[in-house]
């Protein structure tokens, strides 16, 4: 497992701790008025769980990292240790979300089993909103660079795709007790082409009904680095 998801989970939490309230409000709208319970696979430190909880939804997250789950529980959210490609919580949810290209960590081969497991946990007709980059065949590899801080700790983060199956993260600590340290590593990260993504969805128990770029609906064959894919479970 990547160090940023295990022993460096706190650093991850600082690096990704931007305000999700607008995005959560938009997700609640997409999930619909009947939605009361939401599952987030790969919930990490629970930042989206907490933002959805603030809307009065019952939220449950699963993750393989105990360190991440501890942070999610510290936010008052329910976190269960489970592998999102093969899990059984013994119940169904009214909706689900997957945030910040988390499905990419499963690699190309992991998405199909993940969608099968998700379908077993969702009511028929439930929405699964998946935020995942998908790209045209000739698109440039994505790269993102930003700064974050909490208390004395200041971070400079670079996250970039290296090829079709790996990304690299580099977190440089610019302030606080660990100033000067750099946490750098290579992660499994599927680089989805639009066609490969659509083929896996077509073979899954879900139908993609819409795609959004920054909350604006776009064509299903559009590429982009943080698109929201609206999937509907078609399995009873």
Ligand X SMILES: C[S@@+](CC[C@H](N)C(=O)[O-])C[C@H]1O[C@@H](n2cnc3c(N)ncnc32)[C@H](O)[C@@H]1O
User: What mask of x and - would describe binding to ligand X in positions 87 to 126, judged by CB under 6 A?
Assistant: ------------xx-x--x---------------------
Q: How far apart are CA 203 and CA 206, in angstroms?
A: 8
Least Cα distance to 17 among 155, 133, 129 occurs for 155
Q: Provide, rounded to whole angstroms, the least separation between the CB of residue 232 and ligand X.
A: 21
User: What mask of x and - would describe binding to ligand X in positions 26 to 45, judged by CB under 6 A?
Assistant: ---------------xxxx-
- Work out how close the CB of 41 gets to ligand X at its nearest, in angstroms, rounded to a whole number: 6
Strand partners, 80: 62
Return the closest-CA partner of residue 96 out of 234, 230, 235: 230
Q: Return the residue of 64, 153, 165, 208 that touches ligand X, per CB under 6 A.
A: 64
Is residue 167 near ligand X by the rule CB under 6 A? no
**Please, which residue, 100 or 148, has the CB nearer to ligand X?**
100
What are the Cα distances from residue 80, in Å, to 6, 37, 72, 88?
15, 15, 10, 11
- 3-class state of residue 197 by DSSP: helix
- In angstroms, the CA 219 to CA 226 distance is 14
Least distance from C-beta 35 to ligand X, angstroms?
Answer: 19
> Given the complex with ligand X, which of 78 and 220 has the nearer CB atom?
78
The Cα 156–Cα 145 span in angstroms is 8
Q: Can you give the binding site for ligand X, defined by CB under 6 A?
A: 5, 16, 41-44, 47-48, 62-65, 68, 83-85, 99-100, 102, 105
């Amino acid at each position: 497992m990547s160090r940023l998801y295990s022993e460096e989970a706190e650093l991850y939490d600082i690096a990704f701790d931007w305000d999700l309230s607008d995005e959560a409000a938009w997700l609640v709208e997409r999930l619909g008025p009947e939605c009361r319970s939401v599952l987030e696979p790969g919930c990490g430190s629970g930042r989206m769980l907490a933002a959805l909880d603030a809307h009065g939804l019952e939220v449950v997250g699963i993750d393989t990292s105990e360190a991440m789950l501890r942070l999610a529980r510290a936010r008052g959210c329910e976190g269960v240790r489970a592998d999102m490609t093969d899990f059984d919580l013994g119940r169904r949810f009214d909706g689900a979300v997957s945030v910040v290209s988390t499905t990419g960590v499963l690699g190309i081969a992991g998405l199909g089993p993940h969608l099968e497991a998700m379908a077993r946990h969702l009511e028929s007709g439930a929405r699964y909103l998946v935020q995942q980059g998908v790209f045209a065949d000739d698109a440039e590899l994505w790269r993102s660079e930003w700064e974050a801080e909490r208390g004395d700790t200041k971070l400079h983060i670079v996250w970039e795709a290296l090829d079709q199956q790996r990304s690299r993260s580099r977190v440089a600590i610019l302030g606080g007790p660990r100033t000067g340290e750099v946490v750098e590593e290579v992660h499994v990260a599927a680089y989805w082409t639009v066609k490969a993504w659509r083929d896996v969805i077509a073979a899954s128990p879900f139908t993609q009904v819409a795609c959004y770029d920054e909350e604006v609906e776009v064509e299903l064959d559009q590429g982009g680095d943080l698109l929201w894919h609206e999937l509907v479970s078609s399995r009873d």
